[in-house]
Amino acid sequence: MAICFAVRAALTTDTLPFLSHFMLPGEASSSAPNAVQQQREAGPYNQPLPVEAYPYTDTEVIGGDSVSAIQRRLLEKYPSPSAAIIERTRLEAQDLFEVKVQIIQKMAQWDPTGDWMGRGARALDNPRTASGEESFDRLSNIWKDLQETGPLSDVFSTLQNKVLKKR
């Protein structure tokens, strides 16, 4: 490996200028003019993509559920999870929570008699899984069906029967 680095260092634009055409951006030798380096750094292709903040806090409760509660349920199967597993389950919990909130808000709009904002997330549980959580794919399909079919959807009726009515 050291040989590869030595050969690469020897074959820079200092010794063989024609090689600069075959190098990746940022690989040019340190003797390249500062204007060229600055142009590469400031170009539109080097701009970072905008990052949109996650719209919910981990402890925000909507429909009787929160990101931290979902994450806790996902982590139950790991006796001593690593930092990577904890982070992965946090991201998974955020995804699940976001789709659940979309479904709950739509159901609350269409079925005002149901306790969607209080306990609506329980209608989206899956007791057949170890964590009690429905998969992201299944929740996405529920959301898609509600968007396409609306209150006439079979999913709408199923969820409506699962949620408690307000008293």
- Domains held by the chain: number: 2
The parent domain of residue 95 ranges over 67-162
The span from the CA of 10 to the CA of 14, in Å, is 8
- Whether 42 and 89 map to the same domain: the answer is no
- Whether 77 and 139 map to the same domain: the answer is yes
Above 70 in pLDDT, residue 43? no
The span from the CA of 165 to the CA of 167, in Å, is 6
Question: Would you say residue 59 lies in a domain?
Answer: no
- Whether 118 and 82 map to the same domain: the answer is yes
Strand partners, 62: 65
Question: Would you say residue 57 lies in a domain?
Answer: no
- Whether 90 and 152 map to the same domain: the answer is yes
Question: Would you say residue 53 lies in a domain?
Answer: no
pLDDT band of residue 130 (cuts 50, 70, 90) is confident
Above 60 in pLDDT, residue 79? yes
